[in-house]
Amino acid sequence: MSGVPTSIHLGPFVFHLYGLGLGIAAYVAYLYAERRIRRQGIATAPFGRYTLALLIAGLVGARLANIATNWSYYSGHPDRWIAVWQGGLASFGGIALALPVGIILQRRWWPATRLAAFTDALVPALVAGWALGRVLGPQFMVNGGGHETTSWFGMHYAGQVGKRVPVPLIQGAEDAALWLLLLRLEARWMTRAAGALSALAMIVWGLVRAYDERWLLGEQSHSGSVGVQLAGLALTIAGVVVLWRVQRPRGRQRVSTAT
């Protein structure tokens, strides 16, 4: 049985579905995020430049992290460094570089908007884009599946022998569920504790990503896999700290009022 296709050919042109899918997901996330920040009364004029900067930072960081954790594969083969259509984007590498870039530019272009309120407006759009991106991106890349399985839900992927756990589809469903949860809690938290929505997304996404890496991808001993698991746990801990900090002033205020 043939694997999941990774490209389509139109005459002399080759379109790699991995990159095409990520591009579609990024564009949808951009439109959704712009709509959300407009609804919060945040100026959208600089948002196009802001998004472009985040995309570039995210792609560079994700690629560099993958190269660093798979150096034996990339060493001596500089042509592989840019072959992103074959996969090789580490999620947390992208976050690690895009996060400081995003914070710096947010303070420069929206100085009157609190960072917590800004991230609360963006996070559901980012999660929704991530859900769509997992389905349209890694699902169609080389070696896109998880560990080998004989279960009925297993799929064949290019570059991998046997049926594989369809991790991109599973992660897409997980991220979609998180997106729905964030929407359900948004009205309750965004008016009471700015930053709580972002913190919840950090906690849940970090835990789920670490779990997926540990139990679905089947590379527990690989340095890159261990790094992803540790990064997921670190993101979860950071989310707990953020949630505790944004909730803390409310508790103090209640004590002061009662006194």
**What is the tens place of the pLDDT at every residue in 24-45?**
999 999 999 999 999 999 999 9
What is the rounded radius of gyration, in angstroms, for the C-alpha atoms of the chain?
Answer: 20
Give the pLDDT band of residue 219 (cuts 50, 70, 90).
low
pLDDT above 70: residue 94: yes
Residue among 133, 176, 178, 116 nearest 26 (CA):
133
**What is the tens place of the pLDDT at every residue in 105-146?**
999 999 999 999 999 999 999 999 999 999 999 999 888 999
Give the pLDDT band of residue 257 (cuts 50, 70, 90).
very low
For residue 259, what pLDDT is reported? 39
What is the rounded CA–CA span in Å between residue 125 and residue 226? 28
The ranges assigned to domains in the chain are 7-258
User: Chain-wide mean pLDDT for the chain?
Assistant: 89
Q: Which residue's structure tokens are 């729905």?
A: 180
What is the rounded CA–CA span in Å between residue 115 and residue 124? 15
Residue among 171, 170, 150 nearest 161 (CA):
150
Cβ atoms of 1 and 156 within 8 Å: the answer is: yes
**Least confident residue range of 11-20, 54-63, 243-252:** 243-252
Give the residue with greater pLDDT, 189 vs 232: 232
Total residues found in the chain within this entry: 259
Other beta carbons within 10 angstroms of residue 146's beta carbon come to 23
What whole-number percentage of the chain has pLDDT above 90?
A: 64
The pTM of this model reads 0.87
